């Protein structure tokens, strides 16, 4: 008997010039070995191969990478325009290298407890990110990604036809408004003025791969345009549950000097907050390319 699941062909490993990619799941993600990513800053051929692997696998995972803040920033600039403003502070000497340090960040608007694509509430969402681990818990604090291509492709033809023309409102405060009010007070008003809700397609076409992907998330997607609240909630609740099914997920356990590069268009992600008050220090560089999501 054929179904969307039995029709799936697991992704295969590939050997690129200068490194090897081993699939992390049957859907997406690859563990990259045999390369020091900082070498790609000044090596056009190596960078081209890394970028190709990123498009192929959507998320690249690295171990044992020695990466200074200056190198981290320079690598991000090769992928796109580095974002200097975000929800975390930047290093003073390297604007754009965001510092994600816990337990300090529990005092601010922590928002990665729900699944999301970064900055989908902006007209031009984040293209991708490079997240680097400096000091992490031994057995907690993982991050999980989910495949937006596979989530769309596994839907029935009836569901695809239904959601293909829909649009939805993405809002920075969809889930976190009360927490933001508690921590930011009147600053929320200024933030909402600077980052108003944005209408995005429910199904977008990736600008490079040409594949369709589900472009909604529990944290950022507030409502579907043209539906009643009850109708919108029913559709979104189904899509949120569907897009995070185990077969679409890839979970990563951090170690010091681990690095992940992910495609923020073709994946959603969330942090696992099971480390309490244990110290967790990460550096992150995010970048964008000016793309406006479209069907």
Stretch 119-132: mean pLDDT: 96
Give residue 152's domain range. Answer: 1-290
pLDDT at res. 11: 83
Instruction: Tell me the sheet residues that pair with 51.
Output: none
pLDDT at res. 184: 47
Annotation marks residue 72 as catalytic: no
List the CATH number of the domain containing 179.
Answer: 3.60.130.10
Annotation marks residue 269 as catalytic: yes
Q: Which residue in the block uniquely carries the two structure tokens 């397609």?
A: 201
**For the chain, what is the domain count?**
1
pLDDT at res. 15: 82
Instruction: Tell me the sheet residues that pair with 88.
Output: none
Query: Order of strands, edge to edge, in the sheet holding 167-170?
Result: 198-201, 167-170, 221-224
Report the length, in residues, of the chain. Answer: 295
Pick the catalytic residue from 127, 269, 280, 283.
269
pLDDT at res. 2: 46
Pick the catalytic residue from 72, 94, 116, 206.
116
Name the residue with higher pLDDT: 11 or 237: 237
Annotation marks residue 118 as catalytic: yes
Q: Is the pLDDT reported for residue 46 higher than 60?
A: yes
User: SS3 for 242?
Assistant: helix
88's tokens: 């975390």
At a CB cut-off of 8 Å and minimum separation 6, what does 199 contact? 167, 168, 169, 170, 225
185's tokens: 């007070």
Share of the chain above pLDDT 90, in %: 78
Pick the catalytic residue from 118, 147, 171, 263.
118
7 occurs within a structural domain: yes
pTM of the model: 0.92
Q: Is the pLDDT reported for residue 203 higher than 90?
A: yes
Nearest to 167 by CA among 216, 238, 228, 115: 216
User: SS3 for 109?
Assistant: coil
pLDDT at res. 194: 78
60's tokens: 């690249």
62-91 pLDDT per residue, tens: 999 999 999 999 999 999 999 998 778 899
Annotation marks residue 237 as catalytic: no
295 occurs within a structural domain: no
The band of 180, judged by pLDDT with boundaries at 50, 70 and 90, is low
Instruction: Answer whether 223's CB lies under 8 Å from 172's CB.
Output: no
């Amino acid at each position: 008997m054929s179904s969307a699941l039995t029709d799936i062909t697991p992704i295969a490993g590939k050997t690129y010039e200068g490194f090897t990619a081993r699939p992390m799941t049957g859907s997406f993600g690859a563990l990259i070995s045999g390369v020091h990513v900082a070498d790609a800053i000044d090596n056009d051929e190596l960078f081209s191969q890394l970028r190709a692997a990123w498009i192929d696998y959507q998320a690249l995972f690295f171990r044992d990478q020695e990466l200074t803040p200056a190198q981290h920033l320079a690598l991000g600039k090769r992928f796109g325009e580095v974002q200097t403003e975000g929800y975390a502070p930047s290093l003073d000497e390297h604007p754009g290298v965001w510092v994600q340090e816990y337990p300090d960040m529990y005092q601010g608007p922590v928002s990665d407890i729900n699944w999301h694509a970064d900055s989908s509430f902006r007209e031009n969402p984040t293209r991708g990110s490079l997240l680097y681990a400096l000091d992490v818990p031994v057995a907690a604090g993982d991050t999980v990604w989910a495949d937006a291509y596979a989530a769309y492709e596994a839907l029935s033809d009836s569901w695809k036809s239904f959601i293909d023309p829909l649009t939805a409102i993405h809002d920075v405060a969809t889930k976190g408004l009360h927490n933001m009010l508690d921590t930011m007070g009147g600053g929320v008003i200024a933030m909402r003025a600077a980052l108003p809700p944005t209408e995005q397609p429910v199904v977008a076409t990736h600008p490079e791969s040409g594949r369709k992907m589900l472009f909604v998330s529990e944290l950022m997607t507030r409502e579907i345009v043209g539906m009643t609240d009850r109708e919108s909630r029913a559709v979104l609740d189904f899509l949120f549950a569907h897009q995070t099914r185990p077969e679409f997920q890839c979970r990563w356990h951090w170690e010091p000097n681990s690095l992940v590069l992910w495609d923020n268009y073709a994946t959603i992600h969330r942090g696992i907050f099971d480390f309490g008050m244990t110290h967790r220090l990460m550096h992150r560089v995010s970048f964008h390319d000016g793309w406006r999501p479209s069907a």
